[in-house]
């Protein structure tokens, strides 16, 4: 076993080979359930090709990125066609191996516990797949302001539906369950 292969940041590689985690796969991608889902439905779409992160993506990978998004939209619709979903990448991911999040916008999950969790899915730290693809098309590569992104994670807790601010995670969570996320579809 190579050094570091068992490190927590390599966990997605193990999950890709875990039959219990995999929900779908084809010749180019594997789709797994997030081990600690931050919403009712939370999947990760990973390319079989070993791409560490967005920084190593080039124009040669555009069709793969589009395939990843298409497969994500499919699994979301199959999981629940009523809920609003978002499809995108963390600007500064913790886990190695490129992965696109497919996450329903209820954020109703006991695994969502911290300000970092919340802000990583509701601020610009979450980059829509469409915007990643657009940037690769225009600039040929993905770039991000890491320092600014890490500051965004410390932003005040703000409801992603109505914009109201909250002092604590529990008060925010009590608030967001009152929004009917099925009504947000296509908004």
Partner DNA sequence: GTTCTAGAAC
Which of the residues are catalytic?
Answer: 99
| Span 15-54, contacts to DNA by CB under 7 A | 35-36
- Of 52 and 170, CB closest to DNA: 170
Residues 177-182: contacts with CB under 8 Å, at least 24 apart? 177/106, 177/108, 181/83, 181/84, 181/104, 181/105, 181/106, 182/82, 182/83, 182/84
| 100, containing H or E segment | strand 100-104
CA distance 129 to 72: 10
Stretch that binds DNA, among 3-11, 39-47, 131-139, 177-185 (CB under 7 A): 3-11
> Roughly what angle, to the nearest 10 degrees, separates helices 169-176 and 115-122?
50
Q: How big is the site for DNA, counted in residues (CB under 7 A)?
A: 21
- Of 95 and 184, CB closest to DNA: 95
| Span 67-126, contacts to DNA by CB under 7 A | 90, 93-95, 111, 113-117, 120
Q: Does 146 bind DNA (CB under 7 A)?
A: no
CA distance 174 to 60: 45
Q: Does 171 bind DNA (CB under 7 A)?
A: yes
- Of 6 and 140, CB closest to DNA: 6
- Of 74 and 128, CB closest to DNA: 128
> Smallest distance from the beta carbon of 174 to DNA, in angstroms?
9
Q: Does 168 bind DNA (CB under 7 A)?
A: yes
Judged by CB under 7 A, which of 1, 2, 138, 167 binds DNA? 167
Cα 31 versus chain centre, distance: 12
Question: Binding residues for DNA, per CB under 7 A?
Answer: 8-9, 11, 35-36, 90, 93-95, 111, 113-117, 120, 167-171
């Amino acid at each position: 076993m190579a050094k570091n292969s068992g490190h927590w940041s390599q966990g997605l590689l193990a999950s890709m080979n875990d039959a219990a985690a995999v929900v779908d796969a084809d010749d180019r991608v594997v789709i797994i359930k997030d081990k600690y889902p931050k919403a009712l439905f939370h999947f990760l779409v990973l390319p079989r090709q070993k791409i560490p992160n967005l920084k190593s993506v080039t124009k040669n990978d555009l069709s793969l990125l589009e395939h990843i998004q298409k497969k994500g939209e499919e699994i979301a619709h199959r999981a629940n066609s009523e809920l609003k979903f978002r499809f995108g990448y963390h600007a500064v991911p913790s886990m190695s191996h490129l992965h696109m999040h497919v996450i329903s916008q209820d954020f109703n999950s006991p695994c969502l516990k911290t300000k970092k969790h919340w802000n990583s899915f509701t601020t610009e730290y979450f980059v829509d797949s469409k915007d990643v693809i657009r940037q690769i098309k225009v600039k040929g590569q993905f770039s991000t302001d890491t320092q600014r992104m890490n500051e965004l994670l410390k932003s005040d807790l703000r409801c992603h539906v109505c914009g109201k601010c909250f002092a604590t995670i529990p008060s925010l969570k009590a608030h967001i369950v009152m929004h009917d996320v099925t009504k947000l579809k296509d908004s």
